[in-house]
């Protein structure tokens, strides 16, 4: 074989080997990309699964007065208070809106284990006080595993067995206790827009120490909302509860329903943990 033919075969062989190597490298790159994409997808799905609570039940009902209610029922130990500064529907959490606020300042108590949820101790609007008035505050005492409504101005007034194991959400007393004049109480607590037709939110509890997070998808007064809750929530076993911020702030997110209010952001929410 002459040198010309040998050189031609040698070059051809080199190109063949080069092509094989490039194909192997390309296949490896494709495989690596697929593995990374698969791991990312698995991580995302696992994260989503972690964020999706399951220890609750959802119900919706229309009361005889026309108020449509959406209710998340769970144990108080499965609830916490979380700062979100967002519309509840846009968070990764399940639950409902919390108490009153102005811009980024909380005007209602929102405390977990003695720590305000919206800033350092002493900061205005951090969640350590019900602004201006002593108001109904729903308290879960973790050591006793008991719920109560306590009418206080400041979180330091709350009575619990262990200051490192409780949560407290401020609002307006619903006064479900027999013999209490609930209208007189909401007037004392300066409930805003009580007699206007607005979306409404509340947190109530029953004799079995279960908590119900309730949001309406129809408008009504505090009286009509309270009446609807007594009729449709808790099977006539409710003990007490509080009204939360309402109107555009009345928001809920769960697997079964999403209520956005008027799409405004809220500062904090009552969040179902698992």
CB of 272 within 8 A of CB of 53? Answer: yes
Q: 139 and 257: one domain?
A: yes
| Final residue before a domain boundary, out of 18, 33, 51 | 51
Identify the pLDDT of residue 177: 87
Identify the pLDDT of residue 22: 57
**Across residues 241-261, what is the average pLDDT?**
98
| Final residue before a domain boundary, out of 51, 75, 90 | 51
Per the structure, the count of domains in the chain is: 2
Residue-averaged pLDDT of the chain: 88
Whole-number Å distance between alpha carbons of 266 and 252: 11
Whole-number Å distance between alpha carbons of 250 and 244: 8
Q: 4 and 71: one domain?
A: no
Q: 89 and 212: one domain?
A: yes
Exposure string (b/e) for 53-64, b if CB count within 10 Å is 16 or more? Answer: beebeeeeeebe
Q: Which residue has the higher pLDDT, 18 or 9?
A: 18
**Across residues 78-104, what is the average pLDDT?**
98
pLDDT surpasses 70 at 92: yes
Burial class (CB within 10 angstroms; exposed 0-12, middle 13-18, buried 19+) of 126:
buried
The residue written with tokens 């194909």 in the block is 23
Task: Quick: pLDDT tens for 26-75.
Answer: 554 434 334 433 433 433 333 344 568 999 999 999 999 999 999 999 99
Q: 93 and 160: one domain?
A: yes
**Across residues 215-237, what is the average pLDDT?**
97
Strands 94-97 and 101-102: unpaired
Q: 201 and 231: one domain?
A: yes
The residue written with tokens 């972690």 in the block is 50
Residues in the chain, total: 274
Question: 230 falls in which pLDDT band (50, 70, 90)?
Answer: very high
Q: 15 and 76: one domain?
A: no
Identify the pLDDT of residue 178: 82
Q: 135 and 151: one domain?
A: yes
Q: How many CB atoms lie within 10 A of CB 157?
A: 14
Q: 40 and 166: one domain?
A: no
Q: 5 and 29: one domain?
A: yes
- Classified as helix, coil or strand, 246 is coil
Identify the pLDDT of residue 16: 62
Task: Quick: pLDDT tens for 173-203.
Answer: 999 988 889 999 999 999 999 999 999 999 9
| Final residue before a domain boundary, out of 11, 35, 51 | 51
Whole-number Å distance between alpha carbons of 30 and 48: 27
Q: 12 and 113: one domain?
A: no
Question: Which phi and psi angles does 113 have, rounded to 5°?
Answer: 55, 45
CB of 78 within 8 A of CB of 88? Answer: no
Identify the domain containing residue 182 by its residue range: 54-272
Q: 151 and 26: one domain?
A: no
Burial class (CB within 10 angstroms; exposed 0-12, middle 13-18, buried 19+) of 179:
exposed
Give me 211's structure tokens: 């908590």
Give me 29's structure tokens: 């790159």
Exposure string (b/e) for 78-90, b if CB count within 10 Å is 16 or more? Answer: ebbbbbbebbbee
Q: 161 and 32: one domain?
A: no
End-to-end, the C-alpha distance of the chain in Å comes to 79
């Amino acid at each position: 074989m002459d040198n010309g033919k040998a050189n031609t075969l040698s070059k051809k062989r080199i190109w063949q080997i080069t092509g094989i190597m490039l194909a192997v490298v390309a296949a490896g790159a494709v495989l690596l990309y697929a593995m990374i994409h698969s791991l990312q997808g698995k991580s995302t799905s696992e994260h989503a699964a972690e964020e999706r609570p399951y220890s609750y039940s959802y119900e919706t009902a229309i009361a005889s007065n026309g108020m449509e209610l959406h209710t998340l029922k769970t144990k108080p130990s499965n609830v916490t208070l979380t700062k979100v500064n967002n519309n509840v529907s846009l968070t990764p959490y399940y639950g409902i809106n919390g108490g009153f606020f102005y811009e980024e300042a909380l005007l209602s108590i929102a405390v977990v284990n003695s720590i305000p949820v919206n800033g350092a101790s002493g900061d205005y609007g951090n969640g350590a006080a019900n602004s201006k008035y002593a108001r109904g505050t729903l308290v879960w005492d973790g050591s006793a595993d008991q719920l109560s409504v306590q009418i206080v101005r400041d979180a330091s007034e709350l009575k619990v067995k262990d200051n490192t194991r409780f949560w407290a959400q401020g609002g307006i007393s619903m006064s479900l206790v027999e013999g209490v004049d609930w209208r007189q109480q909401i007037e004392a607590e300066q409930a805003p827009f009580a007699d206007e037709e607005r979306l409404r939110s509340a947190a109530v509890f029953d004799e079995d120490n279960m908590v119900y997070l309730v949001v309406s998808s129809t408008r009504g007064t505090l009286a009509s909302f309270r009446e609807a809750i007594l009729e449709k929530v808790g099977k006539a076993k409710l003990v007490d509860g509080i009204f939360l911020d309402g109107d555009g702030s009345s928001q809920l997110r769960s697997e079964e329903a999403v209520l956005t209010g008027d799409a405004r952001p809220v500062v904090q929410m009552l969040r179902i943990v698992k």
